[in-house]
């Protein structure tokens, strides 16, 4: 800072009061390599030059052309009305609605969001949005540990690797153990669940895109008194059975596909919907409907003891804020599309993904399609995933999310199609893959 209000004498007096001789002494506990103040920075620019430089950098982002990227973040059709309404100043500027008398708009929008998520998942109670899908998975595991008073978690390898990393970060400090179920033939085998297991977590469709036998996994968990946590793609629920229909206790996931553009990975939001017996353990915010003193419908934050700002020792989580604006985008988007529109997006995605898989298989590409899949599947590549991505980019195509080595599939990527994928997009990808194989031969 160019200006500090404290004189050198003020600073010296403060340092003497705490027993150190210089401001640098305050950072002795920080490793010296992290305290290196030498930065190789270019000379400063005036505002006009800086804006021009930023525009040049932004121009390097190539968002056009065929896109087959997935792995938890996808492009879907978003009606123009969605951003138009969601970006109204009343919503953009709103924050935590602690004062319901001046927050009825955002409270009602959140109530509508909860209602829609409950209808999508087939479970009765949804909270307001959470940070993202990965933290929702972790919070669901914490809920299960509290509710069952058990200490073990079983998670399928089909759950997104990043979500499993966040899960480990949340759970291990509590002394709980995590057992990962390796996939067998691209899906989760039936686990052995004993009375030490708090929950079984499976993703449907799984990270590789394939459909899991969720009713069987749920039954095994319940037979041992454990909770079953379904990590779901919310758009897929327009076609697939809901978590509530096969007995899941908790449904969680990431809501990006419901109305938020990819935007280089975010922002997005997480969701959690639970069965009634878990209501008191639900983390985050919950908007309830009531009446005001005049008997008119009104909305309030309810069961506040679950949050850290009231009765902190009784709080169920440390969620202090949420991604309600991103969740509002999804709410407006689902209302604009309606059930038929959501079904059209989902069915169009499935249809185009299977067309893509068939077109690649017809050219001799190793497509792992022996299991039912939604709109994502695995393709074996002759080179590394990174080489595949670069080769596709040379053709102006975004394609290929790397499959981690831990899955034991060798060089492989996932490819995704949505309702926006055209026949020309599929032809372009197939031609690019053919050319790549010719180059390797």
Q: What is the pLDDT of residue 340?
A: 97
**Domain containing residue 153: CATH number:** 3.40.640.10
Are 383 and 297 part of one and the same domain? no
Are 294 and 346 part of one and the same domain? no
Q: Which of 29-38, 236-245, 302-311 has the lowest mean pLDDT?
A: 302-311
Are 281 and 322 part of one and the same domain? yes
N-term to C-term CA, the chain? 60
In this structure, what token pair is assigned to residue 50?
């800086």
Q: pLDDT band at residue 318, thresholds of 50, 70 and 90?
A: low
Q: 274 forms bridges with which residues in the sheet?
A: 125, 250
Per residue in 75-112, pLDDT tens? 999 999 999 998 888 887 776 777 788 888 889 999 99
**Domain containing residue 357: CATH number:** 3.90.1150.10
- Of the candidates 154, 249, 230, the one whose C-alpha atom is nearest the C-alpha of residue 196 is 154
Are 183 and 301 part of one and the same domain? yes
- Of the candidates 163, 157, 407, 129, the one whose C-alpha atom is nearest the C-alpha of residue 259 is 129
Residue 145 lies in a domain: yes
In this structure, what token pair is assigned to residue 135?
């933290």
* pLDDT reading at 316 higher than 80: no
In this structure, what token pair is assigned to residue 82?
């969605």
Are 407 and 364 part of one and the same domain? yes
Are 364 and 412 part of one and the same domain? yes
Instruction: Give the residue-averaged pLDDT of 172-176.
Output: 90
Residue 22 lies in a domain: no
Q: Which domain holds residue 118?
A: 81-333
Per residue in 27-81, pLDDT tens? 888 888 887 777 788 888 999 999 999 999 988 877 778 999 999 999 999 999 9
Residue 145 and residue 151: Cα distance in Å, rounded?
A: 6
How many structural domains are present in the chain? 2
Are 265 and 372 part of one and the same domain? no
Q: What is the pLDDT of residue 38?
A: 76
Residue 10 lies in a domain: no
In this structure, what token pair is assigned to residue 222?
């319940």
At which of 311, 333, 355 does a domain end? 333
* pLDDT reading at 390 higher than 50: yes
Residue 382 lies in a domain: yes
Q: What is the pLDDT of residue 433?
A: 92
For the chain, give the percent of residues with pLDDT over 90: 71
Q: What is the pLDDT of residue 1?
A: 47
At which of 310, 333, 356 does a domain end? 333
- Of the candidates 400, 362, 356, the one whose C-alpha atom is nearest the C-alpha of residue 382 is 400
Strand residue runs (E) in 110-262:
125-126, 152-156, 177-181, 197-204, 227-232, 250-254
- Of the candidates 137, 116, 86, the one whose C-alpha atom is nearest the C-alpha of residue 287 is 116
Are 362 and 293 part of one and the same domain? no
At which of 318, 333, 348 does a domain end? 333
């Amino acid at each position: 800072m160019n200006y500090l209000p404290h004189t050198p004498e003020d600073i010296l007096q403060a340092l003497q009061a705490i027993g150190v001789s210089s401001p640098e002494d305050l950072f002795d506990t920080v490793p010296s390599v992290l305290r290196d103040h030498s930065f190789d920075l270019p000379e400063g620019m005036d505002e006009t030059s800086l804006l021009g430089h930023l525009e040049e950098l932004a121009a390097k982002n190539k968002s056009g052309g065929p896109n087959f990227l997935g792995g938890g973040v996808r492009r879907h059709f978003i009606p123009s009305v969605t951003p138009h309404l969601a970006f109204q100043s009343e919503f953009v500027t709103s924050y935590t609605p602690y004062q319901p008398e001046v927050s009825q708009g955002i409270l009602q929008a959140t109530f509508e969001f909860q209602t829609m998520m409950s209808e999508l998942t087939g479970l009765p109670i949804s909270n307001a949005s959470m940070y993202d899908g990965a933290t929702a998975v972790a919070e669901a595991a914490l809920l299960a540990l509290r509710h069952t008073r058990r200490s073990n978690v079983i998670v399928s390898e089909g759950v997104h690797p990043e979500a499993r990393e966040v899960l480990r970060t949340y759970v291990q400090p509590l002394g709980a153990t995590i057992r990962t179920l390796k996939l067998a033939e691209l899906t989760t085998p039936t686990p052995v669940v004993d009375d030490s297991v708090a929950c079984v977590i499976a993703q449907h469709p799984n990270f590789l895109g394939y459909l899991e036998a969720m009713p069987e996994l749920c039954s095994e968990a319940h037979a041992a008194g454990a909770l079953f946590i379904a990590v779901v793609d919310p758009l897929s629920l327009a076609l697939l059975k809901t978590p509530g229909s096969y007995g899941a206790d908790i449904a969680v996931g990431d809501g990006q596909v419901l109305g938020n553009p990819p935007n280089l990975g975010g922002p997005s939001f997480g969701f959690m919907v639970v069965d009634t017996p878990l209501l008191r353990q639900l983390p985050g915010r919950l908007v309830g409907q009531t009446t005001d003193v005049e008997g008119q419908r009104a909305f309030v934050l309810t069961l506040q003891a679950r949050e850290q700002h009231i009765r902190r020792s009784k709080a169920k989580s440390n969620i202090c804020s949420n991604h309600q604006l991103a969740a509002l985008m999804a709410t407006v988007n689902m209302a604009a599309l309606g059930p038929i529109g959501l079904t059209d997006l989902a069915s169009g995605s499935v249809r185009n993904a299977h067309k893509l898989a068939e077109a690649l298989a017809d050219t001799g590409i190793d497509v792992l399609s022996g299991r039912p899949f939604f709109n994502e599947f695995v393709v074996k590549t002759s080179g590394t995933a990174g080489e595949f991505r670069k080769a596709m980019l040379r053709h102006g195509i975004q394609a290929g999310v790397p499959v981690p080595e831990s899955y034991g599939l060798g060089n492989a990527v996932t490819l995704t199609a949505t309702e926006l994928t055209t026949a020309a997009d599929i032809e372009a990808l197939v031609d690019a893959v053919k050319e790549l194989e010719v180059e390797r031969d």
